[in-house]
C-alpha cells in the first residue's frame, strides 16, 4: 500500500471500520499495518520499561510493566502508514501528558491523512471498583482539552470483575454528566464507554446520561479476554434504545458468540448474572435501589421494537457528495460478528480530512484473530 504524498492526500478512510484491539507489541503492530482489512487500531498506554529505559510511555496493558514498543514508535509508525484510525487507551495519568505532547506535534500530519483519534480512559469509579481511578477525570480531561482539543474523548468507568454491584447506578451516570457539564465538553466529540453486560442488566442510567449530555454517544463493549455475548443481547439493547429514540447514538464494540461453545459460555455467564441478581434481591442486599432499577428497566422494555431490519452505516452527504454516518447498523442473530464494521468518521466541516463520528457496531479483533474480538 503506497504511503507517498499523493496516496495520503487522496486517501479517505472507509466509513465502516475493522478494529484490532490491544495492539501493544511490535509484532502486533506490524501485523495490523500489513493486514488490508484492519482500518482502526486500539492500544493501551502506561509508563514502564523499554530496554534500558526504565520509565517511558510504552504500549502495554496491566499488569504488564514492559514492552518492546514505545508510544513514540507506535505513533510514528501509524502516522507514516496514514491509513488507520487510532484509539489510545491510557492506563495511568503519568503517561498522558508526554503522549499528548507527541500527539500534538504530529497532529497536522494525522489531520492531512484523515486519521481519527480517540483519547480513552476509565476516569470515574464504577461498579465494584469504587477506589480512586489511575486516570482521574479532573486531570485527564483538562490535559486532553488543552493539549489536543481536536481529538475526541472516550470516557468510561472503572470496573471490578467480582462484587455485589452488577449494573451502572444512577449516581454513576449523573456524576459523569455533571463532570462533563462542568468542563463544558461538546457532546459531539464525546463517547461514553460502558460494559455491555453491566448495561444490559439496567440500561436506565445510561439512557438518562445521554439525555443529560446532548449530542453525546454511547459505546457498549466487551473487554479483552471477556467471554462472547449472545446476539440476542445486542438485539434487546438496540430495541430498548430505539424505543427511546437514541439508537443512532448507541453502538456496540463486542465479541459475538458464533460457535456452539461460545454460545454455551455466554449463556452460562448470563445465567450467573441472573441468578446472582435474584439472590441479592431476595436477601435484600440492594435495598430499595433494586425496585427503582426494576421500574426503570420495565419502562424501557415496554413496547419493544423489532430490530431485524438492515440499516446502512452511511448515507449520502448533502454538503459535498461524500458520506456521513447513518444510524448504527443492527447486529442480527444471523449475522456473524466479523461482517460488521464500525463507522467512526465523517467529512470535516473545515475542509481538512475527516473527524470522528458516532459510535457504531463493530466486532472486536485481535491481531491473531481478526474475525472476532475495548
Q: Can you tell me the distance from the alpha carbon of 343 to that of 351, in angstroms, rounded to the nearest whole number?
A: 19
Whole-Å CA distances, 41 to 86, 250, 260: 5, 20, 29
pLDDT of 366 above 60: no
Nearest to 24 by CA among 90, 112, 122: 90
179 alpha-carbon distance from chain centroid: 19
Q: What is the DSSP string of 280-328?
A: HHHTTSSTTHHHHHHHHHHHHHSS-----S---SEEE-TTTS-EEE-SP
Whole-Å CA distances, 106 to 72, 117, 346: 11, 12, 21
pLDDT (tens digit per residue) in 236-284: 999 999 999 999 999 888 888 888 888 888 877 777 665 544 444 444 4
Beta bridge partners of 355: 346
Question: How high is the pLDDT of residue 191?
Answer: 95
Q: What is the CATH number of domain 5-363?
A: 3.20.20
pTM: 0.73
46 alpha-carbon distance from chain centroid: 18
Secondary element (H or E) of residue 121: strand 117-125
Which comes out higher in pLDDT, residue 142 or 163?
142
pLDDT of 211 above 90: yes
Question: Based on the number of CB atoms within 10 Å of its own CB, is 182 exposed (0-12), middle (13-18) or buried (19 or more)?
Answer: exposed
Residue 63, preceding peptide bond in cis (omega within 30° of 0) = yes
Domain ranges within the chain, ordered by starting residue? 5-363
Question: Based on the number of CB atoms within 10 Å of its own CB, is 246 exposed (0-12), middle (13-18) or buried (19 or more)?
Answer: middle
Question: How high is the pLDDT of residue 223?
Answer: 84
Amino acid at each position: 500500500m503506497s504511503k507517498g504524498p499523493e496516496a495520503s492526500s487522496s486517501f479517505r478512510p472507509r466509513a465502516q471500520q475493522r478494529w484490532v484491539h490491544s495492539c501493544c507489541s511490535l509484532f502486533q503492530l506490524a501485523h495490523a499495518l500489513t493486514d488490508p482489512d484492519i482500518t482502526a487500531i486500539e492500544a493501551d498506554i502506561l509508563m514502564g520499561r523499554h530496554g534500558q529505559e526504565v520509565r517511558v510511555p510504552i504500549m502495554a496493558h496491566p499488569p504488564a510493566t514492559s514492552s518492546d514498543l514505545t508510544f513514540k514508535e507506535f505513533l510514528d509508525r501509524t502516522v507514516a502508514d496514514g491509513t488507520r484510525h487510532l484509539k489510545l487507551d491510557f492506563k495511568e495519568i503519568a503517561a498522558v501528558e508526554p503522549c499528548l505532547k507527541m500527539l500534538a506535534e504530529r497532529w497536522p500530519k494525522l489531520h492531512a491523512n484523515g486519521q481519527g483519534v480517540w483519547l480513552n480512559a476509565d476516569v470515574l469509579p464504577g461498579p465494584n471498583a469504587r477506589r480512586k481511578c489511575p486516570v482521574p477525570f479532573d486531570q485527564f480531561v483538562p490535559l486532553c482539552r488543552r493539549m489536543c482539543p481536536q481529538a475526541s474523548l472516550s470516557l468510561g468507568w472503572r470496573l471490578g470483575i467480582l462484587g455485589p454491584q452488577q449494573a451502572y447506578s444512577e449516581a454513576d451516570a449523573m456524576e459523569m454528566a455533571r463532570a462533563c457539564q462542568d468542563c463544558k465538553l461538546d457532546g459531539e466529540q464525546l463517547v461514553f464507554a460502558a460494559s455491555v453486560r453491566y448495561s444490559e442488566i439496567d440500561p436506565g442510567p445510561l439512557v438518562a446520561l445521554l439525555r443529560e449530555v446532548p449530542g453525546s454517544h454511547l459505546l457498549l463493549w466487551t473487554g479483552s479476554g471477556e467471554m462472547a455475548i449472545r446476539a440476542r443481547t445486542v438485539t434487546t439493547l438496540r430495541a430498548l434504545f430505539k424505543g427511546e429514540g437514541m439508537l443512532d447514538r448507541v453502538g456496540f464494540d463486542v465479541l459475538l458468540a458464533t460457535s456452539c461453545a461460545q454460545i454455551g459460555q455466554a449463556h452460562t455467564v448470563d445465567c450467573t448474572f441472573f441468578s446472582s441478581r435474584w439472590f441479592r434481591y431476595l436477601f435484600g442486599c440492594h435495598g430499595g435501589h433494586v425496585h427503582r432499577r426494576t421500574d426503570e428497566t420495565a419502562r424501557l422494555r415496554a413496547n419493544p421494537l423489532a430490530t431485524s431490519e438492515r440499516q446502512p452505516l452511511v448515507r449520502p452527504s448533502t454538503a459535498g457528495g461524500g458520506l456521513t454516518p447513518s444510524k448504527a447498523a443492527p447486529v442480527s442473530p444471523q449475522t456473524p460478528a466479523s461482517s460488521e464494521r464500525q463507522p467512526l468518521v465523517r467529512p470535516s466541516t473545515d475542509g481538512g480530512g475527516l473527524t470522528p463520528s458516532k459510535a457504531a457496531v463493530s466486532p472486536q479483533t485481535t491481531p491473531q484473530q481478526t474475525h472476532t474480538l475495548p
